[in-house]
A and B are shown apart, each in its own frame.
Chain A
């Protein structure tokens, strides 16, 4: 049987960073991913990575305060302190590995302004920082020689005597099922964006790890906190980077007027994302948009700056909307982008389930609370990926493998998959169920929410789940059966959708990304706490955790 001390699931930035750390820590490490590492969704981060460099006169406390305020005081301040203190070294490490960061006139790392921060501390590579970092991390993975199971899909976890001790994985290329034994699993599987329609997220972002961990007993936290990004492209809904506004772009209404002054007089377009998205949505609802969109205007930035720093999003605008941002404002709207919540971990990636770690978007440390600042997600992946890898390597040193019957496990899982393939044909399709889920979430769990809408979504999800139990799969073959994988992914997403909705219904205040029209104010007395969900007999069960406050007392939030 395949066997590793540490098995990292997911090979984006967090996953590869975790694997490299675990290997460096002396653990026999492997990484498994349903796509090749460089296809991972870390690619899609465009704008940059935040760090307060002291030799530039910045202080980590400043970065931390901006992050706390950005989170609408829901993030855990001890975790934020860890992240912001580590940021400088994490950034320099990436530069030493070979990232081609843009420079200033003196040849040092250059910065750009980003939303919700009082100082420019976002380091960047044009407008494809995530891709630049991901490919460099992949280079380091190649250099490390770590065993990499590429295009292997984890279908379930193996538990023996109540202990998680490995995974079942489908080798997509052949259709062969494998059992992999491991002392520790580190989930770095990213977010769950495809549960929403539309979303900026790639098609592979389907909440796999969140659901697998949840079903194994892991607690999820802050699941109601779903970020809607202020600038997603009309139509396809793909991302147009905050870097545009960081470089000075304006948001305009249908009459060509800037409108942010009424909402964020100081920071204007660079207020935090939840604030800007709400402002846009309010304007759209008031009839000041055009075809459900507002406009992002980059024309005054000039062709030279756009070509040097925003060339990728310009291409996206031309390719997908037929609009050249050098010449015209580009139609944008708030769109589902990021999951602040996820598998509850501590600062070392540990969850409540022994042997399960998590890092990156699938985890909730919580450093983002109610709203993540732009360019804090790349930082999150690297800092907490590394910490999880370090901890898992040390923890598995004195741990024995749990024995289980590998071939029986394979047989059982093959049987389960066969049952799905053998379902009788009906009129339903996986894609239709996903679309139904995506639309109801996007209707009722978007920028503005209310009780009736969310209850409606919860009912719909119940119906979708019943359909899901019977939905057939067209492809019965073994080789590269993506049809089967979509079906399994849909199950993961339905779990996520349910916990999101239940958590959002429970929270009876407006904070960060959750803006309830029926509870429009932040209520610190009753709701400055984390909502935790774990899997109970009849669906998600709710409990609460206090917010860690170290040095920043909650204040009224304005930008």
Chain B
């Protein structure tokens, strides 16, 4: 099968380095992967092409790149499945992380965040002589998260990290969840309150905007965003409601539950607190911009029609949720 790879390249060794596109025509087996094509180029045509790759079977996490604009493992995707009618595939380095050379990016920021969540089991009780007793279901659930191979595909396509490099990000938060959800971690009831406390801080679990890009990008079905949402549930269940994120969730429900729709003016005010002057001042520029562009919500917030019926429904849903 003939395929054309359009590769975004970068060589830091030249004066005033800039990235550029280079295209390679290569012939691979019909069921060959994008990685097979990249290796063929490197071996037969151009040894200067740098990329990380090793296992060829989606387990070492080395070869995450952007293929046709989206992050994925080059060794997992068959070329025939991703090439367009013209047999062209574009390959770029993973996003968010700085490019070192060609398809190689600097993973240090990634590892720094993994280290930041104290990524090791911290049991508080006495260690049993033999294994910890735990249900198979609890371990299977954890294994669906520990299946993460740290390839960075989720981080590459995270829309929050793109604008806020301080966000812990999907991989580190999923890693953190792997411990908070572990019955062996934390106190003897398996509650890891200190971890959750740390993760409710700014840059933590409440900074995810739920865009689902990480769920799409993950080649191992880890669904990092779902883990972040589970972290939020754990935090609230542990009584950690004193954060903007937790209050935002709470106020959101309260407002919608009352009037049947969101009061967009009250949401930020009630989230940070009316008397939180610095935060209120912080809203000013956004408010002014909204006003200029005619996007300021009406100060008069009306209930939806038939709000009584809605409130009954809402209450029922809330009760069901608690059960």
A residues adjacent to B (C-beta < 8 A): 35-36, 38-41, 43-44, 53, 55, 92, 95-98, 100-110, 125-126, 128, 131-132, 135, 139-140, 142-143, 173, 202-204, 235-236, 238-239, 308, 312, 315-316, 319-322, 429-431, 473-475, 477-483, 486
Measured between C-beta atoms, what is the minimum distance from A289 to chain B in Å?
19
Which residues of B, 13-59, contact A by the 8 Å Cβ criterion?
13, 29, 31, 33, 42-44, 46-48, 50-59
Indicate whether A128 sits within 8 Å of B133 (C-beta atoms), given known contacts A102-B140, A173-B100, A308-B140: no
Are A102 and B139 interface neighbours, CB within 8 A?
yes
With A126-B147, A204-B54, A486-B47 already in contact, 11 other A-B pairs whose C-beta atoms are closer than 8 Å: A43-B60, A43-B149, A44-B59, A98-B185, A142-B115, A202-B60, A319-B58, A430-B43, A474-B48, A479-B11, A483-B48
Interchain CB contact under 8 A, A38 and B47 = no
Verify if B146 is at the interface (C-beta below 8 Å from A).
Answer: yes
Known: A322-B31, A474-B47. A239 touches B142 (CB 8 A): no
9 of the cross-chain contacts (CB-CB < 8 Å) are: A39-B52, A43-B55, A139-B119, A140-B120, A142-B120, A202-B56, A238-B56, A238-B57, A239-B57
With known contacts A431-B43, A479-B13, A479-B100, A132–B55 Cβ distance under 8 A? no
Closest to B106 in A: A173
| Interface of chain B residues 120 through 149 with chain A (CB within 8 A) | 120-121, 127, 130-136, 139-140, 142-143, 146-147, 149
Partner of A103, one of B59, B120, B136: B136
Residues of B contacting A: mostly: loop
Q: How far is the CA of A108 from the CA of B56 in the complex (A)?
A: 34
Q: Are A106 and B149 in contact (CB under 8 A)?
A: no
Asked if A480 meets B127 with Cβ closer than 8 Å, knowing A38-B61, A319-B78, A429-B43, the reply is no
* Residue from A103, A128, A316 having most chain B Cβ neighbours under 10 A: A103
Smallest CB gap from B115: residue in A:
A142
Q: How far is the CB of B286 from chain A (nearest CB, A)?
A: 39
Contact yes or no, B120 A139, CB < 8 A: yes
A428 to chain B, nearest CB (A): 12
- Bound complex: CA of A255 vs CA of B2, how far in Å? 34
Does B65 count as interface, using CB distance less than 8 angstroms? no
Instruction: Enumerate B193-242 residues with CB–CB distance to A below 8 Å.
Output: none
Q: Give CA–CA (A393, B151) in the complex, Å.
A: 34
For A97, give its contact among B12, B121, B150 (CB under 8 Å).
B121
Residues in chain B near residue A478, CB distance under 8 A: 13
Tell me the complex Cα distance, A203–B56, Å: 8
**Which A residues lie within 8 Å of B42 (CB)?**
482-483
Tell me if B261 is interfacial: C-beta within 8 Å of chain A: no
- Contacts A132-B146, A319-B76 given; does A480 touch B130 at CB 8 Å: no
Which residue from chain A places its CB closest to the CB of B147 in the assembled complex? Answer: A128
Establish whether residues B78 and A104, one from each chain, have CB atoms under 8 Å apart when the complex forms. Answer: no
Number of A-B contacts (CB under 8 A): 168
Q: Which residues of B contact A109 (CB under 8 A)?
A: 131
Nearest CB on B from A308, distance (A): 7
A41, B33: Cβ atoms closer than 8 Å: no
Contact A236–B139 (Cβ < 8 Å): no
Asked if B182 is an interface residue, CB under 8 A from chain A, the answer is yes
Contact partners of A139 in chain B: CB under 8 A: 119-121
Residues of A within 8 A of B12 (CB): 479
Ranked nearest first, the 10 interchain pairs of A and B with the lowest CB-CB distance are A474-B47, A431-B43, A98-B121, A483-B47, A103-B136, A139-B120, A107-B133, A477-B13, A202-B54, A475-B48
Given A95-B132, A108-B133, A321-B31: A38 and B149 within 8 A (CB)? yes
A95 to B127, CA, bound (A): 11
Chain A contacts for B76, CB-based, 8 A: 319
Q: In the docked arrangement, what's the CA distance between A40 and B149, Å? A: 11
Please report the C-alpha to C-alpha distance between residue A238 and residue B56 in the assembled complex, in whole angstroms: 8
Task: Determine the distance from Cα of A238 to Cα of B111 in the docked complex, in whole angstroms.
Answer: 28
A483 proximity list for chain B (CB < 8 A): 42, 47-48
Please tell me if B267 contacts chain A, counting CB pairs below 8 Å: no
In the bound complex, how far is the Cα of B99 from the Cα of A282, in angstroms?
Answer: 50
Residue ID in chain A nearest B13 by CB atoms: A477
From A39, A92, A102, A431, contact of B130 by CB (8 A) = A92
Least CB distance from B183 to A in Å reads: 10
Choice from B33, B44, B132 contacting A96 with Cβ under 8 Å: B132
Complex alpha-carbon distance, A244 and B284, angstroms: 62
Contact A39 B60 (CB under 8 A): yes
Bound-complex Cα distance A474 to B43 (A): 10
Q: Which of A40, A55, A98 contacts B120 (CB 8 A)?
A: A98
Of chain A, the residue at the smallest CB distance from B114 is A142
A101 touches B149 (CB 8 A): no
A429 touches B44 (CB 8 A): yes
Q: Point out the residue from B31, B46, B52, B114 that lies within 8 Å of A235, measured CB to CB.
A: B31
Which residues of B are found within 8 Å of A204, using beta-carbon distances?
54
Residues in A whose Cβ lies below 8 Å from that of B143: 100, 102, 125-126, 132
